Amino acid sequence: MQTSLFTGSTGNTNNTGNTIASQNNATQDMFTKLLVAQIRNQDPLAPTDPSQFINQLTQQAQTEAMQNLSTLTSANASVLQSMQVLALGAQVGSEVMVNTSTVQLDSAKVSGSIALSSNSSKTTLTLKDAADKEYKIELGAKAAGSAAFTINPQQLGLPAGTYTMAVTTSSGEKPSVDIAGKLSSVRLSSSGSMILNVANLGEVSPGAITGFNGKTS
């Protein structure tokens, strides 16, 4: 599957390069025709200063160089994206940490963590279901730094479903939540963006990944 993604992206790179190259050629031909027409139609009794033609040719060369640079940049961006897909594809099966405000629960335990900038004598994780019913999980006192926690749906009597999450602390700080889940697949969307599928979370963007915990048995 990874090879297919790479091949598909390379095809897009070739198509993009061919399109831009075609546009470059059309622009160059138009410029040349205009320059030739200008030379043919100049007044023979008052010919145009040759330096003006030199300036125009210089401008044409600069324009062509910028267009070629644009083509190269676009191709490099596509290749880099393909390399990122392959790199993340190699991590399929690994447990990752994802910064998120939602979590998908069934009967299995879910691990997570929060990062506190100051101590909290009372820390509460609030889950809210689709019907806006709230479930509060008391995490207790937490010291500044990273604090791990576990959600046990069976023990807490949480129905299966998707929940939004929010953390409150005694200091008034509202830290974001990272949830652990197994990376199950990596794919490119129709728009070319990368989409990761992570257990307990569903589809997430690469930018939401905060850590890799390695392969899980």
Q: pLDDT digits over 130-139, tens only? A: 999 999 999 9
Q: Is 204 left (phi over 0), alpha (psi -120 to 50) or beta?
A: beta
Q: pLDDT digits over 103-115, tens only? A: 999 999 999 999 9
**Better pLDDT: 81 or 122:** 122
Q: In which band, very low, low, confident or very high, does the pLDDT at 2 lie, cut at 50, 70 and 90?
A: very low
In 3-state terms, what secondary structure has residue 139?
A: strand
Q: How far apart are CA 208 and CA 193, in angstroms?
A: 14
Does 35 have pLDDT greater than 70?
no
Does 14 have pLDDT greater than 80?
no
For residue 126, what pLDDT is reported?
96
For residue 28, what pLDDT is reported?
63
Q: How far apart are CA 127 and CA 156, in angstroms?
A: 11
How many Cα atoms occupy the beta-carbon half-sphere of 196 within 13 Å? Answer: 28
How does the average pLDDT of the chain come out, rounded?
A: 79
Q: How far apart are CA 194 and CA 208, in angstroms?
A: 12
Q: Tell me the one-letter amino acid at 17.
A: G
Q: In which band, very low, low, confident or very high, does the pLDDT at 129 lie, cut at 50, 70 and 90?
A: very high
> Could you tell me which of 141, 159, 152, 162 has the C-alpha nearest to residue 111?
152
For residue 74, what pLDDT is reported?
65
**Better pLDDT: 95 or 35:** 95
Residue 128: C-alpha distances to residues 71, 101, 164, 193 (Å): 49, 11, 5, 30
Which of 21-26's residues contact partners 24+ apart within 8 Å by CB, and which partners? 21/71, 23/67, 24/64, 24/67, 24/68, 24/71
